C-alpha cells in the first residue's frame, strides 16, 4: 500500500496554529508507519485556498498517483476541501481508482468498515442539506410570485412589470385565456397560433406571427405555475 499524503496551507498564519506543513507531514508519516505502508508520497499546495479542488495542482497530482489499495491521507478534511460536496467528489474519485481516504483529525478511514459507514452518513447528510436548500428556495419563489413580486428572468407573457411587481396585462391575459380555451377544445399549437394571428394578438416581441414553439412555451409556463400553486 502507498500512503499518499496531501498537505495544504493557505496563509502564513497557519504555520503557527498547529497545522503547518511540517506538522501535517509528521502526522501523515506517523500514520503510514503505524499502518505498514510500503511507500509514502507527499504532495503539497502552499498558499492556496481550499475553496476549489480543481485549482490545486498538487491535489490533482495526488489523486492521479492513487491506485488500487492505496490511501490518500490528510491531516484533516479542511486541508482537503472546504465543502462537503467537494470532499465527497474527491472520495468518489478515489473509490473509482480502488483507493481509500484517511482523515486523521476526524478519524475517518475508509479502509475500515466503520470508516466507510461514517463517510456514507456524511454523504446522506450532505444530500439532505442540499434538498432542504432546494425546498426553501422553491417555497420562497412561490411566495414571491403569489405576492406579485418578480423572481428573475423575463417578465412572463400575460403580465407587465410595475415598480418591481408583476401586474396583469389585460390584452395579453385575453390572449392567454384564448390559448387555454383552444387547447381544451383540442386545437394544435399551430392552430392556436393561427387563431391568435387572426384575432390580432401580438407576441411579446411585437410580432404578428405566432410560432408553435412560442405558444408551447407560454402554455408550459402556465402549467408549471398552476402546479406550483396547487402544492403551495
Residues 57-70 as b/e (b if ≥16 CB within 10 A, e otherwise) read ebbeebbebbeeeb
The one catalytic residue in 10, 20, 78, 126 is 10
**Going residue by residue through the chain (232 aa), what tens digit of pLDDT does each one get?**
999 999 998 765 444 444 788 899 999 999 999 999 999 999 998 877 766 767 788 999 999 999 999 999 999 888 888 777 788 888 888 989 999 999 998 888 888 888 888 777 776 765 676 666 666 656 555 655 555 554 556 788 988 888 777 788 999 999 999 999 999 999 999 999 999 999 999 998 888 899 999 999 999 988 888 777 666 5
Strand order in the sheet with 108-109: 39-46, 2-9, 71-74, 100-103, 108-109
Cell of 138: 422553491
Phi, psi of 71 (to 5 degrees): -135, 130
CATH (one of 3.40.50.970, 3.40.190.10, 3.40.50.1390, 3.40.50.620) for 2-127: 3.40.50.1390
Burial class (CB in 10 A: 0-12, 13-18, 19+), 50: buried
Helix 84-96 / helix 57-65 crossing angle, nearest 10 deg = 30
Active site residue 76: no
Please state the domain extents for the chain: 2-127, 148-231
Interhelix angle 189-198/212-231, nearest 10 degrees = 100
Stated pTM of the model: 0.52
Return the exposure string of 120-146: e unless at least 16 CB atoms fall within 10 Å of the residue's CB, then b: eebeeeeeeeeeeeeeeeeeeebeebe
Amino acid at each position: 500500500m502507498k500512503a499518499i499524503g496531501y498537505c495544504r496551507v493557505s496563509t502564513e498564519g497557519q504555520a503557527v496554529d498547529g497545522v503547518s506543513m511540517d506538522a501535517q507531514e509528521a502526522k501523515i508519516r506517523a500514520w503510514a508507519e503505524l499502518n505498514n505502508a510500503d511507500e509514502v508520497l507527499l504532495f503539497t499546495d502552499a498558499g492556496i485556498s481550499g475553496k476549489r479542488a480543481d485549482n490545486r495542482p498538487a491535489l490533482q497530482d495526488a489523486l492521479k498517483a492513487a491506485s488500487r489499495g492505496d490511501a490518500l491521507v490528510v491531516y484533516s478534511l479542511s486541508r482537503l476541501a472546504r465543502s462537503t460536496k467537494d470532499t465527497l467528489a474527491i472520495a468518489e474519485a478515489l473509490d473509482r481508482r480502488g483507493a481509500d481516504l484517511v482523515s486523521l483529525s476526524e478519524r475517518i478511514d475508509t479502509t475500515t468498515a466503520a470508516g466507510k459507514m461514517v463517510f456514507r452518513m456524511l454523504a446522506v447528510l450532505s444530500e439532505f442539506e442540499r434538498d432542504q436548500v432546494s425546498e426553501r428556495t422553491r417555497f420562497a419563489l412561490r411566495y414571491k410570485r403569489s405576492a406579485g413580486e418578480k423572481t428573475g428572468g423575463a417578465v412572463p407573457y400575460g403580465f407587465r412589470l410595475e415598480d418591481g411587481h408583476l401586474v396583469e396585462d389585460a390584452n395579453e391575459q385575453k390572449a392567454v385565456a384564448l390559448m387555454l380555451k383552444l387547447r381544451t377544445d383540442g386545437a394544435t399549437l399551430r392552430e392556436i397560433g393561427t387563431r391568435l394571428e387572426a384575432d390580432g394578438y401580438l407576441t411579446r416581441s411585437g410580432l404578428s406571427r405566432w410560432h408553435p414553439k412560442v405558444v408551447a412555451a407560454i402554455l408550459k409556463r402556465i402549467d408549471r405555475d398552476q402546479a406550483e400553486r396547487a402544492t403551495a
